[in-house]
Amino acid sequence: MNPSLLSQRLLALFAAAALVFNFPLIALWDSSVKWWGIPLFALAMFTLWALLIALLAWLVERSPD
């Protein structure tokens, strides 16, 4: 993969993560609802965080075809 393209994709992933973990969108998950005994806020934050790590690993570890 072109190094310039990789850096653009990493920057886009950073921008998306900054938007997702910013206040207005985080407030959407803040409720007293529990899912399998886990508060929805914590479940959403850890799920989004894991998804971000998976996308980052996929981008960095892709084969340079």
Per-residue model confidence as pLDDT tens digits over 16-54: 999 988 888 788 778 788 888 888 888 888 999 999 999
Return the structure tokens found at 45: 């934050």
Among all chains, which residue has been given the structure tokens 């997702």?
Answer: 20
Residue 9 identity: R
Residue 41: domain span: 3-61
Give the number of domains in the chain.
1
Return the structure tokens found at 50: 């894991």
Contact call for residues 40 and 29 (beta carbons, < 8 A): yes
Confidence band, pLDDT 50/70/90 cuts, at residue 14: very high
